A and B are shown apart, each in its own frame.
Chain A
Amino acid sequence: MKFKISTVIKAMLEVFRESRYWLIGFSAIVFLISLNILAVNYQIYFSFQNFNLMKEIFIGTFFTLPKHSVVLLFVLSVLSGIFISMFAYHVKSSGMLSTSSKTGTLGTILGILAPSCTTCGIGLAAALGFSGIIGTLPFDGIELGIVGIILLLIAIYLLSTRIVEKTCIVKG
């Protein structure tokens, strides 16, 4: 098997030909970004139940997070959204799970946890209490984000080959 970028392009053209997969991907991206932005301050939304407050926190957090966290957040969320859309397409069209799902799932999990600000305590990892662990890493969690990006790219490629080849691998 050769590594071909054209495989990925063909697969994405096939998947995103249908508008439902645009919706799935976009929804996933918005959900993942929102999860990181809004998770740590959930108490104040429930207490004051003020939509404007939620809106201001959503916008304000982009100015609060370090720049590298914002970049990681967007890149990982977009890649995760693409992976989720392609995975949904593959499951629907082939009726079975791909082995790339494990790689993609791990990449998505890292994508959710990596873009956290360990000092200022913003991000899903901080909300779950993991910012102390991530803060011990040499590059403050950027490494996790890069690993997540690599895993997602690998998963997207593997899914692309499944989608384009449209054959079951003969095992044995």
Chain B
Amino acid sequence: MSSSKDKLKIDKKEQSRRGKKISIEFNETTLWKTGTIVFGVLFVIAILTGGFGKGGGGVGAVPSIPSQVPTQAAPQPSAPVDVGIGDAYVKGDKNAPVEIIEFSDFECPFCGKFYSQTLGQIQKKYIDTGKVKLAYKHLPLPFHPNAQKAGEAAECAGEVGGSDAFWAMHDGIFDNMAIQAGIEVPKLKALASDIGLDQGKFDSCLDNGDMEQKVKNHLAEASSLGASGTPTFFVNGVKLVGAQPYQVFEQAIEAALN
């Protein structure tokens, strides 16, 4: 018997005496070596291809940053980052002391969960009372085929009808997701009609991709900030990941207010 091998075998005579048994035999050293080689090769390939072409240089499921967009240095563990509202649409008083920037994907169920279960409570207690302003930025994930166009649709609604129209489209898209009514382009155009937008201008904006670059710029910004999934929030520049329940946001907002 080789000294380097541990074997588990069921004695064949015993097996035949007792009837049918399941035979388990493995070589632990070979298992270890094979597993190490397999994972090592996969790891190297993943690094060289940036997550098999689907990872964003190791930052979650976000695609690579376009070369023309400057990247930020990685934020220090306790230092808030200067995210900036930029060209995002804002809900609430622009002078509110607490700023929440949400990077979200209209096709992401967790983002839908935040919208349906948490946003309403935050709005009622903090946004409507002037303590918090919420800005929405786009982070369409590559494996959500309708997310990019849904983001553009919301931006087109804002472009055509203003901030209120943006938020109405935002709510309509997530409501459609919740009831699984779909968010393909025809559905987005129907939503625009429901909101009361100029259908011709909206359809032209969406079909021509007028807001495509704006959505992609938000995506690139999210990648540079280390947003590793959706939804990702920045509460006064401090990152908070996940569709956390209302109590988490309450604590974070109260801590920021104090």
Residues of A that sit less than 8 Å from B by CB: 1-3, 40-44, 46-48, 50, 52-53, 56-57, 59-61, 63-64, 99-100, 102-103, 106, 117-122, 126-133, 135-136, 151, 154, 158, 169-172
Decide if B60 touches A44 in the complex (CB within 8 Å). no
Measured CB to CB, the residues of B under 8 A from A are: 3-4, 6-11, 14, 24, 26, 28-29, 31-32, 35-36, 39, 46, 50-52, 54-62, 75, 77-80, 108-110, 113, 141, 143, 227-232, 235, 238-245, 247-248, 250-252, 255-256
Report B-chain residues with C-beta under 8 Å of the C-beta of A41: 239-242
Contact yes or no, B6 A119, CB < 8 A: no
A126 to B110, CA, bound (A): 15
* 14 intermolecular pairs with C-beta atoms under 8 Å apart: A40-B228, A42-B77, A43-B75, A47-B80, A63-B245, A103-B28, A119-B109, A122-B242, A129-B59, A132-B56, A133-B51, A133-B52, A135-B143, A136-B52
Asked whether, in the complex, the Cβ of A61 is within 8 Å of the Cβ of B244, the reply is yes
Question: Chain A residues with Cβ under 8 A from B113's Cβ?
Answer: 64
Contact with B248, one of A46, A60, A117, A133 (Cβ below 8 angstroms): A60
On chain B, the residues within 8 Å of A48 by CB distance are 238, 252, 255-256
Q: Lowest 6 CB-CB distances: which A-B pairs, in order? A: A121-B229, A132-B55, A129-B58, A46-B78, A171-B3, A132-B51
Provide the residues of chain B in CB contact with A44, threshold 8 Å: 235, 238-240, 252
Known: A47-B238, A132-B56. A120 touches B245 (CB 8 A): no
Cross-chain contact B24 with A3 (CB below 8 angstroms)? yes
Instruction: State in angstroms the CA–CA spacing of A128 and B47 once bound together.
Output: 13
Given contacts A46-B77, A99-B6, contact A64 B242 (CB under 8 A): yes
**Contacting pair B32 A102 (CB below 8 A):** yes
- A131-B61, A131-B228, A132-B51 known; A119-B32 Cβ under 8 A: no
Give Cα A61–Cα B243 distance, bound, in whole angstroms.
8
Choose among B108, B239, B244 the residue with the greatest number of A CB atoms under 10 Å from its CB.
Answer: B244
Q: Please indicate the chain B residues that have their CB under 8 angstroms from the CB of A43 in the complex.
A: 75, 77-78, 238-239
B247 touches A56 (CB 8 A): yes
Contacts of A170 in B (CB 8 A): 3
Query: Knowing A41-B241, A135-B55 touch, does A118 contact B229 (C-beta < 8 A)?
Result: yes
> For residue A57, which residue of chain B has the nearest CB?
B248
A136 to chain B, nearest CB (A): 5
* Given A99-B28, A126-B228, A121 and B56 contact (CB-CB distance below 8 Å): no
**B7 neighbours in A (Cβ, 8 Å):** 1
Q: How far is the CB of A33 from chain B (nearest CB, A)?
A: 16
A-B contact sample (4 more), CB < 8 A, given A119-B230, A132-B59: A50-B255, A120-B231, A120-B241, A135-B55
| Complex contact B60–A126 (CB within 8 A) | yes
Q: How far, in angstroms, from A43 to B110 measured CA to CA in the complex?
A: 21
Beyond A40-B242, A106-B35, A126-B229, whether A119 also contacts B108 by CB under 8 A is: yes
B142 smallest CB distance to A (angstroms): 9
